């Protein structure tokens, strides 16, 4: 009885209810966004099954979009993997940040590792105490996992029955990526990093194979890395 009673007590917390509502709403919004990934992946040549398995196992939107866009443009599997891996590398930093707050058995940690993404880390980091931080992480991560994979399935089925170019859905990845990056451009350092990456990418497009410009554009990330704080003397 102690477990259920504890859940009821936590649910009486108004702040926790607000966290729950915000996390589930975010998950639903990401699920709608996942429909465009399903359509984009199928239009790039993947089957419905391949598209769904990718979302189930990879589960990192920017990397998935990057991989299917490279393949769809005729790039090699190595280029697609390289660009996707570079984008996914940020999740390892999120894992280090969240590790102190997510204790438990190995199985629990493995599930936590799978749902450690931008949104779950951001929602957890926004909380002021350990209880709400863990709740935000799990609710956000599991909600997004559920809605992302549901949206992927819907998009993949739609993409296999229509011509994405007819409705402009072939532009889903560029538009979605710009939407994700846009808020970061308010920061001067981030804007400079994006400008350098875009310049390098555009300069290499006429001379290099598909996928290579994206890999080289990561040079802009070097500028985006925050400078270490100066030590007090």
Containing structural domain, residue 31: 2-169
Whether 130 maps to a domain, the answer reads yes
Whether 186 maps to a domain, the answer reads no
Q: pLDDT tens, position by position, for the chain (233 residues)? A: 344 445 555 556 677 888 888 888 888 888 888 888 898 888 888 889 999 999 999 998 878 887 887 887 777 777 778 777 777 777 887 888 888 888 788 888 899 999 998 888 888 888 888 888 888 899 999 999 999 999 999 999 988 776 666 666 556 556 656 665 666 677 777 788 778 888 888 888 888 876 677 667 766 666 655 554 444 44
Q: Model-level pTM greater than 0.85?
A: no
Residues 194, 181: contact at Cβ < 8 Å?
Answer: yes
What is the number of structural domains in the chain? 1
Whether 162 maps to a domain, the answer reads yes
Whether 115 maps to a domain, the answer reads yes
3 state SS of 44: coil
Structure confidence at residue 171 (pLDDT): 61
Whether 120 maps to a domain, the answer reads yes
Q: Residue 175: CA atoms inside 13 Å, Cβ hemisphere, count? A: 9
Structure confidence at residue 148 (pLDDT): 94
Pick from 22, 40, 37: which is nearest to 150 by CA?
A: 37
Long-range contact pairs involving 125-132 (C-beta distance under 8 Å, separation at least 24) = 125/97, 127/19, 130/101, 131/10, 131/16, 132/15, 132/16, 132/19
């Amino acid at each position: 009885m102690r477990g259920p009673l504890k859940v009821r007590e936590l649910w009486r917390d108004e702040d926790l209810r607000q966290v729950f509502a915000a996390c589930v709403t975010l998950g639903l919004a990401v699920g709608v966004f996942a429909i465009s990934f399903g359509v984009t992946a199928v239009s790039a040549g993947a089957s419905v099954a391949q598209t769904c398995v990718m979302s189930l196992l990879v589960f990192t939107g920017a990397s998935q979009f990057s991989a299917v866009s490279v393949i769809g443009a005729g790039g090699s599997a190595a280029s697609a993997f390289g660009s996707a891996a570079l984008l996914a590398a940020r999740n390892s930093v999120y894992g280090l940040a969240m590790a102190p707050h997510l204790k438990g058995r190995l199985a629990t940690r493995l599930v936590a590792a799978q749902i450690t993404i931008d949104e779950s880390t951001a929602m957890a980091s926004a909380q002021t105490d350990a209880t709400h931080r863990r709740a935000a992480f799990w609710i956000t991560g599991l909600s997004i996992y559920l809605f992302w994979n549901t949206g992927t399935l819907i998009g993949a089925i739609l993409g296999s029955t229509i011509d994405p170019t007819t409705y402009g859905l072939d532009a889903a990845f560029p538009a979605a990526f710009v939407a994700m990056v846009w808020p970061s451009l308010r920061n001067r350092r981030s804007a400079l990093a994006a400008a350098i990456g875009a310049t390098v990418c555009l300069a290499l497009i006429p001379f290099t194979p598909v996928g290579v410009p994206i890999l080289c554009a990561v040079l802009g990330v070097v500028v985006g890395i925050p400078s270490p704080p100066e030590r007090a003397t």
